[in-house]
Amino acid sequence: MQTPDISYKDKTWFSEARFGMFIHWGTYSMAARHEWVKKHECISEEHYQRYFEHFDPDRFNPTEWARQAYAAGMRYAVITTKHHEGFCLFDSKYTDYKATNTPAGRDLLREFVDAFRAAGLRIGFYYSLLDWHHPHYRIDRMHPRSLRTGTQADFDRINEGRDGAIYAQYMRDQVTELLTNYGQVDLLWLDFSFPGDYVANDPTHGAGPGKGRADWESEKFMDVVQKLQPQCLVNNRLDLPGNGDFLTPEQVQPHTTPVDEHGNAQVWEGCQTFSGAWGYHRDEQDWKSLRMLLWMLIDGVSKGGNLLLNVGPTARGEFDYRAVERLEGMGKWMSRHSRSIHGCTFAPAGYITPQDCRYTYNPKTNRLYLHVFNWPMKSIHLVGLGNKIAYAQLLNDYSEIRFRDRDAAHDPSPGRIWENCMLELPIQPPPVEVPVIELFLK
């Protein structure tokens, strides 16, 4: 079977949106100590069942979630329809392990989709390839039942009666439901593959085999997507040749624009947390500052990438107050500066980024945005921009920034430095988290 040709897919909306919300929500939100809690603490099925039995998010209001996401400047959202624990937020025919059978008593995914669509956000579904609940998912080293050490024969023994093909079919059935029952799905975020040979003792996860395209039956999986919603963007974690429709660097900021073997820029989306865990983690303290989060967003766009920023709602169905604070801060900045984010990408070649700054560029309007992270004294030299700027202004208040072009013809010194343009800055930076100067190019 051939990998479907998906090269015609339109990724424009995705690249123009630039900023999306990741939502990790499941019964692990009740444990409130990491979405991997079942694995980290090797919790048994019987014990883990307590979360399912008590899942009652009485303050779940997806309209409010969508409002918060949109106000932050986000234009799409990706929600965990099923995470590694196997619990489904949607009403699947193929399992009882779903929100409809908890005290919540209804299909929470449907409410999410309706609310986010109504607010003008694109819809993405995260779907976990791993499944720590399904009886036919074969135990691997990521599984809560994995052995600390052991041979392949030991694993074959604990996997007796587990038929991986039944699980692969289950995934196809569920993705069929997801792509049939909820209208247009703009993006599928599949998670994750860890191909490779049997590992006798991985200090982090224990022993066991890897999982990849042969286990997931990735080609057949993609056939289902292709048949039902060919426009749907799919990430790169199915272990298929190529990079999927977009790359997904996780908890790292790429140091440069990722390119393919021909040097073409790749579509990419960094996925990031506020504090480390993806699911609600009550006691985690390592929350990123508003400034760092804005830097991540801007830095990503300056390299042609998206930021998918995660919230882990509580078991009552609300965003963590620390996430709310930061989303509001980002929204405040975005309300005046989103023009340097939405529809923007890296700057044309040849414009050298000044120190402590990032450029983004809107190719449609031919405007360049200079983000200044450390306000310098009085001036900034823009290398490569001599005689290229028609007008410059601060984005927060549209106040003019005067500039002086250095004209190569009238300057005796040879060399690129005289092709600069010099911006004249006020001593006081504008009262915003990250000042942006909008440069209208000729």
Q: Where on the chain is the footprint of ligand GLC (CB under 6 A)?
A: 24, 35-36, 191-192, 250, 271, 278
Q: Which is nearer to ligand GLC, 78 or 368 (CB)?
A: 78
The tokens 């992270």 sit on which residue? 373
> CA–CA separation, 253 vs 376, rounded Å?
25
Beta bridge partners of 306: 269
CB of 292 to ligand GLC, least distance (A): 19
Q: How far is the CB of 77 from ligand GLC (least distance, A)?
A: 14
Taking the complex as a whole, how short is the minimal distance between the CB of residue 27 and ligand GLC, in angstroms?
14
Omega within 30 of 0 (cis) for the link into 60 = no
Q: Which is nearer to ligand GLC, 36 or 274 (CB)?
A: 36
Contacts of 311 (CB under 8 A, 6+ apart): 21, 22, 23, 24, 274, 319, 320, 323, 327
- The distance of closest approach from Cβ of residue 29 to ligand GLC in the complex, given in angstroms and rounded to an integer, is 13
DSSP helix/strand/coil, 371? strand
Nearer residue to ligand GLC within complex by CB, 26 or 304: 26
Query: For residues 235 and 9, what is the distance between their CA atoms, to the nearest angstrom?
Result: 13
Q: How far is the CB of 79 from ligand GLC (least distance, A)?
A: 11
Check: CB of residue 209 under 8 Å from CB of residue 188: no
Tokens of 174: 């569920």
What does the angle CA 98 – CA 102 – CA 108 come to, to the nearest 5 degrees? 60
The nearer residue to ligand GLC, 24 or 388, going by C-beta atoms, is: 24
Q: Which is nearer to ligand GLC, 192 or 216 (CB)?
A: 192
Nearest approach, Cβ of 8 to ligand GLC (angstroms)?
27
H helix runs in 134-274, sequence order: 152-158, 164-180, 213-216, 218-228
Residues 6+ apart with CB under 8 A from 82: 26, 88, 89, 90, 127, 128, 131, 174
Min separation Cβ 193 and ligand GLC, Å: 10
Cβ-based nearer residue to ligand GLC, 276 or 363: 276
Q: Which CB, 83 or 122, lies closer to ligand GLC?
A: 83
Strands 206-208, 199-202: pairing is: antiparallel
Rounded CA-CA distance 199/152 in Å is 9
Match 């929100």 to its residue by tokens: 99
Closer residue to ligand GLC, CB minimum distance, 219 or 250:
250
The shares of helix, strand and coil residues in the chain, as percent rounded to the nearest 5, are 30, 20, 50
Sorted by sequence, the CB contacts under 8 Å of residue 143 that are 6+ apart come out as 39, 130, 132, 137, 208
- Residue 158 Cβ, how far from ligand GLC at the closest point, in Å? 22
CB of 36 to ligand GLC, least distance (A): 6
Q: Which CB atom, from 25 or from 278, has the smaller least distance to ligand GLC?
A: 278
CB of 310 to ligand GLC, least distance (A): 7
- Is 234 or 394 the residue whose CB approaches ligand GLC more closely? 234
Contact 98/89 with Cβ under 8 angstroms?
A: yes
